[in-house]
Amino acid sequence: MNIFEDRGGGKLHWKLNLYVLWVCVFFTCASYTMCVPFLPVYLLQHLGVAQADVNSWTGLIYSVTFFTAAIMAPYWGAHADRIGQRLMAIRAGFGLAVTYALMGMCQSPEQLFGVRLLAGLVSGFVPASLSLVSSTLPAVKMGWGMGLMQTAVASGSILGPMLGGYVSAWFGMRMSFYIAAGALFIATIMVIAFVRDVEHEKGEGKVIHIWADLKASLQNKGLLFVMSMFFLVQVCVMIVQPLITMYVSYLLGGVVNDDVVKTAGIIFSLAGIAGIIDGGACTVGVESTIVDTTGEVPVILRPGGITREQLEEVLGRVELDPALAGAETLKPRAPGMKYRHYAPKAKMYVVEDKEALKFLPLLAKEAAKFTTAAVICGGEAAESMQRAQNLHILNWGGDTTELAVKLYRLLRRCDKLGVGIIFSEGVAEDGIGLAVMNRMRKAAGRQVLTAADIEALLKNSTQLKSFVLK
C-alpha cells in the first residue's frame, strides 16, 4: 500500500491533525526559547555560578541542546520513516517534558549542562510534527498547511523569551521549567488523543544511508556554500543571545532582578516581532519556490526565488506541475497559484514574442487615446516607446532579476495611477524568468497578445476602442 493514497481523506482527519499540531508546535518552540532571558540569572542565583563565569556557562548550556539535536536529527528521521512520525513526536514530547522538569531540579551548572544535552538527544518533536502534517494534508492544501505550521514555529520561538521573562517573574525560575514541562506533557497527550498518522507497514520505508548521504552532500559545492552562509548567519544571530540579559543588567546599573529578566525577554522577542512587521526591502521579489518531493522526481508546484536550474544542480531532474501551464482541468497545489495572482485593478495583457513587441509602442499610444494606459517594460523597450498623454511608461530596468523584485510594486503602481489598461513585456522563462512569467500571466488572467492580434487592432480604430474600453 502507498501511504499517500488516502492523504487528505476523512480517515486521516487532516484538519484536526493540523490544528492540534499547530498548538503543540507553538508551545514546544516557546519552551525552547523561554529560558533564554532568565538562564544567566538562574545560574547566578540558584546554581552558584560566579559572576565572571556566567556568560561562558550560559553560552555552553544554551547551545548544547541545539548542537546535539542537529547531530541526532538524521538518526530520528530515519527511524520516523520506518515506524511513523506520530510515534516520534510522542517519544520526543515525553522526553522533552521529562528533561525540562529535571532542569528545574538541577543544583549545579554541570547538572544543567547534562540535562540540556539530554534534551537535545531526545528532541525531534517539531520535525516529526511538520512531517506528520505534510503526510496527511490533501495535495491542494499542502502549501497553505505547511505555511501555517511555519507560523507556529516562528511565533513560538519569537514569543518564548517574552513569556519566559514574565513567567519567571510571576512564579519563579524553577517553576518556569516545571510549567514548560507541563505544557510539553499536555501537548504530547494531545498528540496521543487527537492526532493520526498514515499507515506504516514493516519494511515499507526505504533504507536510508545517513553517512553515505552526508558524504554525497559534502561533495556538492553549491549546497556547501548555502549551508556555510546559513551557518554563519545563525552564529551571528545566536552569539549575542546568552549575553543580552547580563548586558541589560549592566545598563540598569548592575542589578539582577525580575525587571532585568522581563526586560531581556521583551528585547529578545521584539527583535523577531520587528522582523515580522518590517523586514526591510525585498531582495528577491517573487515568493519562495514550493517543491513536492513525495514522488520519485521532484515537482515544482510554485516557481520562485530558487530557480529550476539551481534545484537541478542539487536534485537532478526536476519537473514542473502541469497546472502551471494553466490547464482549466488541473487545480494548482500551491498557494498563490489560483485565480489572478498579483492581479491589478485594470485589464492587463502580456506581450511575449519579439514580433509582437515591435507593435507595442504604437498600440500603447493608440490605446491612450481612449483611456489611461500603462506599459511595464525593460529599458530597451522603454526607449522605443512613443510618449503620449495618458500613457505611463513603467521601466523595470535591465534584467529579469530586477523585474522579479519590482513586478508586484509596478502592478500596485498601476492601481494608484488609476489606469484602464496595462500592457506588459514578457521575458524568457529561464532562471527566475519562469517565476516572473508565471506571476505576470496570472496577473493578466493569461491574456496574451500576439503580433497578429495587435496588427488587427491597429487596422480598425472602432475595434481598438471597443477592445480598450470593454
Q: Would the pTM of this model clear 0.75, i.e. be above it?
A: no
Fold of 10-208+240-275: Growth Hormone; Chain: A; (1.20.1250)
CA atoms within 13 A on the CB side of 232: 6
CA angle, residues 376, 381, 386, in degrees to nearest 5: 90
**Residue 444 class from Cβ within 10 Å (0-12 exposed, 13-18 middle, 19+ buried)?**
buried
Fold of 347-469: Rossmann fold (3.40.50)
- Rounded to whole angstroms, how far apart are CA atoms 44 and 155? 29
Residue 297 has pLDDT above 70, yes or no: yes
**Inter-CA distances, 13 with 6, 19, 117, 272, Å:** 11, 10, 35, 33
In a 3-state reduction of DSSP, which class is residue 219? coil
- Rounded to whole angstroms, how far apart are CA atoms 119 and 130? 19
**Residue 138 class from Cβ within 10 Å (0-12 exposed, 13-18 middle, 19+ buried)?**
middle
* Sheet (strand 373-377) strand order: 391-395, 373-377, 421-425, 347-351, 448-449
Report the 10 Å Cβ neighbour count for 305: 17
Residue 400 contacts residue 286 (beta carbons within 8 Å): no
Quote the cell numbers at residue 29: 518552540
For the chain, give every domain's residue range.
10-208+240-275, 347-469
**Inter-CA distances, 178 with 90, 96, 98, 182, Å:** 19, 11, 9, 6
In a 3-state reduction of DSSP, which class is residue 285? coil
Residue 7 has pLDDT above 50, yes or no: no
- Rounded to whole angstroms, how far apart are CA atoms 141 and 147? 10
Residue 164 has pLDDT above 70, yes or no: yes
Chain Cα centroid distance, residue 456:
46
Phi, psi of 417 (to 5 degrees): -75, -15
Residue 8 contacts residue 139 (beta carbons within 8 Å): yes
pLDDT of residue 276: 67
Highest mean pLDDT among 29-33, 106-110, 169-173, 325-329: 106-110
pLDDT of residue 328: 55
pLDDT in tens, 184-241: 999 999 989 888 876 644 444 444 555 666 666 666 666 677 777 777 877 776 666 6
**Inter-CA distances, 87 with 82, 188, 208, 254, Å:** 10, 10, 19, 47
- Rounded to whole angstroms, how far apart are CA atoms 357 and 349? 12
- Rounded to whole angstroms, how far apart are CA atoms 234 and 171? 32
Per the document, the length of the chain is 470
Residue 410 contacts residue 394 (beta carbons within 8 Å): yes
pLDDT in tens, 116-146: 999 989 888 888 888 888 777 776 677 678 8
pLDDT of residue 11: 46
pLDDT in tens, 362-414: 999 999 999 999 999 998 888 888 888 899 999 988 888 899 889 989 999 99
Strand partners, 347: 421
